């Protein structure tokens, strides 16, 4: 996805579209090496303690590759944020409930998550409308290249055929990814981790070897690298000087909408009597850095 958008926006031969797409490729290559070294058996150090596939890991095997490919192909078949929600994330509810929307609302399911996702489709639409208004030929060239690139990733893997669909799927998975930080933290509390071996009340060295990298994955957030971002002011800077005023206005508009939702949630959570005890579970959709979290744009955080 990240390589595809970088190459296709370069293919547009439009400085504005190319500058917009540049942010998604930052840090991706090094993340592959980091993930390989941390999670999978490889040439990177001791393989016994690899979090997923190591001897003392949590069970990643060749057998999981088939169902994971099915998920990948499913995601690649979607065109909109609505598809992502109804055909994947909340599929069981939409398939079985008589009035799924009412059930989701009344049960308070993913309420803050859905508020962010509700911004995705209009954001993607207005982005591409701005690109088309600036340079219709450039947008067409970029989308033609993107369609070919994604179709070449493997049979049945992806049918993404527009920058709008690309943005919508990338944004949904980014919001979902950023929402896993509390989940990662939860796996480390004694009430969860004790079930690895309930016969003892102490942690073994191999368990500590697994805990340590999980802690590392929820550290080191890069400020501004979030879904809907309109600037990156820390770490690897994002040069937005070539982005057209029309396109930049859309980016700033939805960045502000997203930030307003995050701030409202933060202010609400701070008034809750149970915040000190359970706040860390509830803060995924808060502003960047609050509780060390972020709705990540592409790489981990």
CATH code assigned at 45: 1.20.245.10
So what's the pLDDT on residue 113?
Answer: 95
Is 121 among the domain residues? yes
Within a domain: 187: yes
- Choose the most confident range, by mean pLDDT, from 50-54, 129-133, 192-196: 129-133
Burial of 25 (0-12, 13-18, 19+ CB in 10 A): middle
Q: What is the pLDDT of residue 115?
A: 97
Average pLDDT over residues 261-266: 97
The pLDDT of residue 160: 94
pLDDT number for residue 223: 84
Question: Number of C-alpha atoms within 13 angstroms, CB side, residue 94?
Answer: 10
Q: pLDDT tens for residues 279-301?
A: 888 899 999 889 888 998 877 66
| Domain count of the fold of the chain | 1
Q: Please work out, in degrees rounded to the nearest 5, the angle formed at the alpha carbon of residue 173 by the alpha carbons of 37 and 228.
A: 110
| Any domain includes 299 | no
* pLDDT for the residue numbered 70: 92
Highest mean pLDDT among 68-77, 125-134, 205-214, 234-243: 125-134
Q: What are phi and psi of 154, to 5 degrees?
A: 145, 150
Q: What is the pLDDT of residue 153?
A: 92
On whether residue 205 sits in a domain, the answer given is: yes
Q: What is the pLDDT, as a whole number, of residue 149?
A: 96
User: Is residue 297 in some structural domain?
Assistant: no
Helix (H, G, I), strand (E, B) or coil at 226: strand
CA gap 14, 134 in Å, rounded: 9
Check whether 44 has a pLDDT greater than 60.
Answer: no
Half-sphere exposure of 294 (CA within 13 A, CB side): 22
The pair of three-digit structure tokens given for residue 237, joined into one six-digit string: 């800077």
Q: Is residue 285 part of a domain?
A: yes
Residue 258 is predicted with a pLDDT of 98
pLDDT at 300: 65
Q: Which domain holds residue 132?
A: 2-292
301 domain-assigned: no
The pLDDT mean for the chain works out to: 89
298 in a structural domain: no
pLDDT at 211: 79
Under the banding of pLDDT at 50, 70 and 90, the label for residue 46 is low
Residues 6+ positions from 45 with CB-CB distance below 8 Å? 37
Tokens of 103: 């059930």
Flag the least confident range among 16-30, 88-102, 108-122, 141-155.
16-30
Question: Any idea of the CA torsion for 177, 236, 259, 295, to the nearest 10 degrees?
Answer: 10
- Quick count: other Cβ atoms within 10 Å of Cβ 273? 6
Among 203-207, 231-235, 287-291, name the most confident range.
287-291
Quick one: pLDDT at residue 200? Answer: 78
**Per-residue pLDDT at 43:** 62
């Amino acid at each position: 996805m990240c390589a595809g958008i970088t190459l296709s926006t370069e293919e547009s031969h439009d400085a504005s579209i190319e500058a917009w797409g540049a942010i998604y490729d930052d840090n991706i290559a090094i993340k592959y090496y980091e993930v390989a070294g941390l999670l999978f058996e490889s040439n990177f150090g001791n393989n016994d303690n690899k979090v997923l596939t190591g001897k003392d890991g949590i069970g990643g095997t060749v057998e999981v590759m088939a169902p994971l490919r099915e998920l990948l192909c499913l995601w690649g078949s979607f065109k909109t944020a609505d598809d992502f929600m109804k055909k994947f994330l909340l599929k069981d509810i939409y398939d079985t409930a008589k009035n799924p929307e009412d059930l989701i609302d009344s049960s308070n399911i993913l309420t803050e998550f859905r508020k962010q996702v509700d911004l995705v489709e209009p954001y993607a639409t207005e982005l591409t409308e701005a690109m088309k208004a600036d340079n219709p030929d450039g947008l067409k060239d970029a989308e033609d290249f993107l369609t070919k690139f994604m179709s070449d990733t493997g049979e049945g893997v992806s049918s993404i055929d527009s920058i709008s669909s690309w943005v919508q799927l990338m944004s949904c998975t980014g919001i979902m990814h950023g929402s896993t930080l509390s989940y990662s933290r939860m796996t480390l509390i004694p009430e969860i981790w004790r079930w690895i071996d309930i016969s003892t009340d102490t942690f073994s060295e191999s368990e500590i070897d697994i805990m340590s990298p999980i802690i590392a994955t929820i550290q080191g957030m890069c400020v501004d690298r979030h879904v809907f971002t309109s600037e990156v002011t820390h770490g690897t800077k994002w040069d937005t000087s070539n982005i057209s005023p029309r396109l930049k206005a859309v980016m700033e508009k939805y960045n502000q909408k997203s930030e307003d939702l995050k701030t409202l949630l933060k202010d609400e959570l701070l008034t809750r009597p149970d915040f000190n005890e359970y706040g860390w579970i509830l803060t995924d959709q808060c502003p960047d850095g609050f509780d060390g979290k972020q709705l990540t744009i592409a790489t981990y955080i």
